[in-house]
Every structure is written in C-alpha cells, then in structure tokens.
Amino acid sequence: MNYHLMIDDKFINDFIIDGEKTAPGNNIYIIDWPLEKVKHVKSDKAIFAPYGTELFLETVKNISEGDKVFIHWASDAAINFVLKLPENIKIGLFFWGGDIVEIPYSMFKKTIYGPESFNYFSKYEERPKVKWNPLKPKRLLRTLGNRYWNYAANEQGIYEIRKAFFARLNYFVHWNIIDFQWVLDHYKTQAEFVYFFYNFNPVPAPNTIPKHKKHISIMLGNSDTTPNNHFEILDVLKKFKNEAIKLVIPLNYGNKEYGDVIQKRATDIFGKEKVVAIRDFMNRDAYYEVLDDVDIAVMNHYRIQAVGNVLALLYREKKVYMHERSSTYKLLSSNGVCLGNSANIENLSFQEFIAPLSAQIKKENIENTNKLFRIDEKEEVLKNLLA
C-alpha cells in the first residue's frame, strides 16, 4: 500500500486521479487539513486527517514492511512522522520547492530574496510572532523565547532533522534534475531521482480568441508570497509607468498582509487604474481566462516556483520573463525554450521589453516544453513507483 501525506492544494485532485489510473486501489491519500476548512481537495478518495488526530493515527496504524510512504509537501510534521517509521518502510518525497529550499530560513534566505524582499522577510515573516497576552504569561515567555533567545538553536534543530530525513529518503520524485543537484549540494542522500510532474493541465482551450486591448497586460508573480520578489520587479518596471500598460498581480494565495503591502506599493507607483490585484480565490478555469488575456509575464523568483503558471503561459504563446537564478529558468532555457531574463529588464527599452515572440519561437517553445513534460513516461514511471 502507498500512503500519501498531503496538504490541501490545487495539485492534489489531479494527482489522486493519476494515482488511481496507474495503481488503482493501492493508495491512501491523507490530507493534513480538517474537512470543514478544505478549499482545494474535492476527491472522495481523500481522508482529511491532520497529523496526530485520532483519525490520522487510525489510518496509518497498519503501515508495514512492503508499504511506501510519500510526502507531498515536506512539513515538519510530515518529516517527523516518517523518521519514526521502521527502516524497512520506503520513503519518497514529491518535491515542490519552498518546503525544502527555503528551510531552515536562516540558512537559505540569502539565496531566495532580492534586497528589499530580504529585508521585508527578515523583519516581518522569518521569526515566530510573539503572542502579547499578559493574562497568559507562560505563552508570552515561550513565544518570546522562540522569536529571540531560542531562534538559532531551533533553526539548527530543524536542519539536523532534515539531514536525517534526506539520509533516510529513498525516492526524490520530481522533473527537474537541477533541483535534485541542489539537494545533493546541501545534504547527504542515497535517494533515487524519479521522473514525475504534477498535472499542470496548462493547455488552452481550442480557438481561444484574444481580446482587443489598448494596453499591454503584464502579469507579475503567482501569489502573495515574498519569494516572488515583487519589490524588486516593481522598482525595475516603474520606468514604464507612463506607458500603456496594466499590471495583473495575483495576490490571493499565501500571506494576505504581504499582499496588502504589494498592492499598495504597485498602486503608489503606477496608479490605481493600471493595477489589477487578484485578491479572491479563483477556480482554475477562471484563472486560465486571466492568463489568456496576459501579454507578458514576469516571474521574478530566485527559486523554483510558479511552474504551472509558466507552462500555461508558454502553451498560450506568451512572452515570459524569469530570473536567471531560478532552476526552472535554467532547465527550460537550456532545452531550447525562449525566456526573457528578469534580471536584465532594467537594461531594456519599453519596445524591447514588449517585443512579441515570432511565430517560429512560439512554436518551438511549445515543442521543447513538450519534450520535457512527457505524460506517457510520467504515467509509466508512476505505475512502477506505486506498484
């Protein structure tokens, strides 16, 4: 039996479909989220059982030799759980990105953020918040300690646990070998690289007709999370503020407080009439309609993020800028996909920035992307992995 430790996320429904297609009846899908708070996972095969609950313990009690346990988002709770399992239980990680390359924060934050984003993260997000309630002095002291006195020790403890996890890991399940090399550079592991990608379902509907607009629509980032490096890219793009542009900024997935800050910064620079901040949850079809209307996208992440957005945009023949540090940029560009480098936008004129891709480049982008994301191979690999 395969036990999948998962979170409530938009990729999970499609994975369950893939799992049942390739290994029907041989999977248990456990979502670390209470049913009444679920937003994304709709499958009737999912079990909503947060770690440590009675239902979770009941669900995993029969794990035994020959079973496999797969983590889909490496939370501390998931890692601590699998480290307690017997050595004869094989462990796999379906790699996402931020759950690995950002944590511990104190170790990796300098590689993730631009200068102003780094300062914002360090000041407002990195450390646990203090709970200032004088009526609960023990909690106050504990949270003060976690934020200040114990922070370095806690971070070191997280790193030691992750070292043990990678030493224990059997399968690193992902599509980008560059991310696996990152793991090998930072941890000792004997894990096997296994080719797989979540179903991004990015291909546009046939005969999608572009809207006629009087402006250039520019998408910035994919969420209200600091690794988007919004501060830096807004600062670079402000030289175009008097051009006929409209910024589309998804800020509906992550940290609302950070989203408020970015929305204000964007409107202060470009004016309210040139900024469309997406703040409410959108289903996938509605979100893809937004992508249909985009002319240019700028994904200024330094690490793997927004892959589903990037692929959907490429299949829609859009011009996409990514940061040269991103492992996704490195893999795509080295395999013939034509991407702009967001680190170079400061050197471009507006006409250079918006210059459309040729029909040949659009065609080659789709062809070369298809060569990297091979559905038949993915399903065959998954079938063998879950057998």
Asked if residue 137 has a cis previous peptide bond (ω within 30° of 0), the answer is: no
- List % helix, strand, coil for the chain (3-state, nearest 5): 50, 15, 35
341 in Cβ contact with 329 (< 8 Å): yes
Tell me the torsion sign for CA atoms 7, 122, 340, 186: negative
Domain 2-102+154-197+376-385, CATH: 3.40.50.2000
- Three-state DSSP class for residue 217: strand
Comparing C-alpha atoms, which of 36, 18, 19 is closest to residue 28?
19
Residue 42: what are its φ and ψ, rounded to 5°? -115, -5
Does residue 283 or residue 348 have the better pLDDT? Answer: 348
Backbone Cα Rg of the chain: 22
pLDDT tens digits, 153-167: 999 999 999 999 999
Determine the average pLDDT of the residues in 47-67: 97
Q: What is the pLDDT of residue 212?
A: 64
What does the angle CA 213 – CA 219 – CA 222 come to, to the nearest 5 degrees? 150
Q: What is the pLDDT of residue 145?
A: 87
30 in Cβ contact with 56 (< 8 Å): yes
Q: Are strands 340-341 and 319-322 parallel, antiparallel or unpaired?
A: parallel
Q: What is the pLDDT of residue 97?
A: 95
pLDDT tens digits, 295-347: 999 999 999 999 999 999 999 999 999 999 999 999 999 999 999 999 999 99
Does residue 375 surpass a pLDDT of 90? Answer: yes
What does the angle CA 165 – CA 114 – CA 334 come to, to the nearest 5 degrees? 70
5 in Cβ contact with 69 (< 8 Å): yes
Comparing C-alpha atoms, which of 355, 261, 373 is closest to residue 315?
373
Does residue 83 or residue 209 have the better pLDDT? Answer: 83
Does residue 80 surpass a pLDDT of 90? Answer: yes
> What rounded mean pLDDT belongs to the chain?
95
List every span in the chain annotated with CATH 3.40.50.2000: 2-102+154-197+376-385, 216-372
pLDDT tens digits, 185-243: 999 999 999 999 998 766 777 666 566 678 999 999 999 999 999 999 999 999 999 99
Q: How far apart, in whole angstroms, are the C-alpha atoms of residue 309 and residue 223? A: 11
Backbone conformation region of residue 271, classed left if phi is above 0, alpha if psi is from -120 to 50, else beta: left
- Tokens 């670079």 found at: 236
Comparing C-alpha atoms, which of 174, 226, 114 is closest to residue 183?
174
Residue 140 confidence class, pLDDT cut points 50, 70, 90: confident
- Three-state DSSP class for residue 293: helix
Query: What is the percentage of the chain residues whose pLDDT exceeds 70?
Result: 98
Fold that domain 216-372 belongs to in CATH = Rossmann fold (3.40.50)
Q: What is the pLDDT of residue 210?
A: 60
| Cα distances (angstroms) measured from residue 153 to each of 144, 145, 146, 348 | 14, 11, 9, 45
Q: What is the pLDDT of residue 200?
A: 77
Q: What is the pLDDT of residue 49?
A: 98
Does residue 245 surpass a pLDDT of 80? Answer: yes
Determine the average pLDDT of the residues in 258-262: 98
Q: How far apart, in whole angstroms, are the C-alpha atoms of residue 32 and residue 24? A: 22
Determine the average pLDDT of the residues in 145-158: 91
Q: How far apart, in whole angstroms, are the C-alpha atoms of residue 165 and residue 159? A: 10
| Cα distances (angstroms) measured from residue 243 to each of 226, 274, 292, 326, 343 | 27, 10, 21, 28, 21
Q: What is the pLDDT of residue 357?
A: 97
Q: How far apart, in whole angstroms, are the C-alpha atoms of residue 231 and residue 300? A: 10
Comparing C-alpha atoms, which of 43, 77, 73 is closest to residue 60?
77
